[in-house]
Amino acid sequence: MNAIKLLAETAETVTISRADLTALLDAAEDAEDSAAVRASKAAEDSAGGHAVARRDYFTAAEAKRLLDGESPIRVWREKRGMTQRALANAAQIRPSYLSEIESGKKPGSLAAHRALAGALGVPMESLLAG
């Protein structure tokens, strides 16, 4: 980026050209993007590498299901290749209770969400709709 040329300056303000403002904003956005990529790579490394971390990436179809309001628990369960019964057993809750949570008939207790998150290997916040 070229040097920014000040057009005017007071104690409270600085005036620059529209082109310089656009260049500054673009540079700031590029820096944010680079920081996000570095953070993502660091998270992948701490998870054991890209292949391990990839199991938590949503496909476009999975993201659409979530955006369409489908139960995050159901999406994660299916992503993990688990049946309702298998997940319920792993979380030590009744399969019928899991079914009611997934269908929205019951909100599910904090303890149930904590157990489901542990069984799915995701942060509890990932299971909350909206």
Position 43 scores a pLDDT of: 75
> CB–CB of 41/47 below 8 Å?
no
Say yes or no: 77 and 39 in one domain. no
For 72-90, how does the pLDDT look when each residue is reduced to its tens digit (9 = 90+)?
999 999 999 999 999 999 9
4 lies in a domain? Answer: no
For 97-115, how does the pLDDT look when each residue is reduced to its tens digit (9 = 90+)?
999 999 999 999 999 999 9
Position 46 scores a pLDDT of: 73
What is the domain extent for residue 68?
59-127
Residue 121 CB-half CA count within 13 A: 10
32 lies in a domain? Answer: yes
Position 39 scores a pLDDT of: 85
Structure tokens at 44: 């992948």
> CB–CB of 90/80 below 8 Å?
no
Residues of the chain with pLDDT under 50: none
Say yes or no: 52 and 103 in one domain. no
In total, how many domains does the chain have?
2
This prediction's pTM: 0.64
Q: Which of 71, 127, 62, 80 is nearest to 103 (CA)?
A: 71
Position 57 scores a pLDDT of: 87
Give the integer Cα–Cα distance in Å for 24 and 17. Answer: 11
Say yes or no: 47 and 83 in one domain. no
Position 1 scores a pLDDT of: 58
